[in-house]
Amino acid sequence: MGNTPGGPVPVVVMGLGFIGQEVARAALASPEVDLIGAVDPHPQLVDRKLADLIGVTAAGRLRVAKDLPGALGRTRGAVLLHATGSRLPLVSDQLLEAIRLGCHIVSSCEELAFPHLKHDELARKLERAAEKNGVTVLGTGVNPGFVLDRLVATLAQACGPVRHVRAERVVDARKRREALQRKIGAGLTEAEFDDLVEKDQLGHVGLLESCALAALGCGIDCDDFEEEITAVIAEEEIRGGAFVVKPGKVAGIHQMAVGLEDGQERIRLDLTIAMGAEAPGDRIVVDADPRIEMEIKGGVDGDRATANLLVNAAPRVAAAEPGLLTVLELPAGR
C-alpha cells in the first residue's frame, strides 16, 4: 500500500439508485472522505439538489451532474464511488472514462470483485489503464466483497491448511426493498422463474466471484467452479411491504457455488434470498486445525453494509499502488 494522504479523500458518487443514495449518505457521515459531487444522467435527476434527493442537509448545495467531468470540476485524485450495475461489460466504459480522468474507483459492480474469473481480457484492459493513469480500481460490497469471501479468508488466517469451507447466507426478503424482491423472482411461476434464469436475468450476481475469492484467501487451489440456481416455492401466502406471494408461486432463490480441486469439493457457498426465509443469518464453517465456526444472527444488512464498505475502502484505495485490486489486498482495519 502507498502512503495515506492527509485529510479527507475527495469522492464522487456515480449512480443514484437505492444503493447509490445509501453510498452518498454514508460518505456524508464519514470523516475520512469529502463528498464533492454526484453523477446520474437520468433526466429526472440531473441538476437536482442532492440534499433533497437523499434527505440529508449535509449535502449542502451539491447538485446532481449529468456526467463525471461536471461532477469533478477541477479536482484531481478523487475516488469514484461507483454504483450503476452488476455486469462488468455493461459498466466498463464508465470505469475506463473515470480512469482516464485520473479517478481511483471503488465499485459495487459484483463482477469487478474478481474480474479475471469471467472477463479476463477486460480485466487486463482495466488494469493496464489503471497502471498507465496511476490510479487504483476495486470492486467490493457485502457479497461479493465481505461476508462470503473476505470474512471467510480472515477466519482462515487462524487455521492450518484448510480442508473445506462451507459458508451460508440467508436473507428474509420481506424486509428488503421491492426492487430486490422482484430481482429474486418473487411472485413468478416456477416456469417463468426457470426461463429467466436460463436467460441470465435472475439470480444474485457475484456468487462465483465470492467462491473464487474465498478459495484464494484460504489457500485452496480450485481448478473449477460450478453454480446452480433454484426457486424457493411459497407454501403459504407471504406478505412483505406492498408485495404479496401466493402459495405455489416463487418466494425467492436458492443459489449455490462450489469450488472444486481435481473433482473434489473444497468450498461451498449457499445463498438463500426469499420472502419469509427462515433463520436469516450468515454462517461460516472452516474445516481445518483448529476448526472455526461463526454465525452472525440475522445477517449483515446488505444495503447499508455495501454503502459503508465502499466508503470505508475509498481512503485505502487512494493510498494503494496503481492497478486492479481485490478485497483480499485491503488492510484489515481502518
| pLDDT, tens digit only, all 334 positions of the chain | 444 446 899 999 999 999 999 999 999 999 999 999 999 999 999 999 999 999 999 999 999 999 999 999 999 999 999 999 999 999 999 999 999 999 999 999 999 999 999 999 999 999 999 999 999 999 999 999 999 999 999 999 999 999 999 999 999 999 888 888 988 999 999 999 999 999 989 989 999 999 999 999 999 999 999 999 999 999 999 998 778 999 999 999 999 999 999 999 999 999 999 999 999 999 999 999 999 999 999 999 889 999 999 999 999 999 999 999 999 999 988 7
Among 137, 178, 168, 138, residue whose Cα is nearest residue 283: 168
The pTM assigned to this predicted structure is 0.94
Query: What is d(CA 105, CA 14) in angstroms, rounded to the nearest whole number?
Result: 10
Q: Which residue has the cell 475509498?
A: 314
The answer to whether the bond into 144 is cis (omega within 30° of 0) is yes
Domain assignments of the chain as residue spans, ordered by start? 9-141+304-329, 150-299
Answer for the pair 79, 314: CB distance below 8 angstroms, yes or no. yes
150-299 under CATH 1.10.10, yes or no: no
Name the phi and psi angles at 67, rounded to 5.
-150, 170
Residue type for 303, please? D
Provide the 8-state DSSP code for 52: H
Query: What is d(CA 264, CA 277) in angstroms, rounded to the nearest whole number?
Result: 30
Q: Residue 260, exposed/middle/buried by CB under 10 A (0-12, 13-18, 19+)?
A: middle
- Summarize the chain as % helix, strand, coil (round to 5): 35, 30, 40
pLDDT tens digits, 261-319: 999 999 999 999 999 999 999 999 999 999 999 999 999 988 999 999 999 999 999 99
Query: Can you name the CATH fold of 9-141+304-329?
Result: Rossmann fold (3.40.50)
Query: What is d(CA 163, CA 291) in angstroms, rounded to the nearest whole number?
Result: 10
**Which strand (E) or helix (H) includes residue 209?**
helix 207-217
Query: What is d(CA 304, CA 199) in angstroms, rounded to the nearest whole number?
Result: 30
Neighbours of 38 (CB within 10 A): 28
Provide the 8-state DSSP code for 45: T
DSSP 253-317: EEEEEEEEETTEEEEEEEEEEETT-SS-EEEEEEESSS-EEEEEET---HHHHHHHHHHHHHHHH
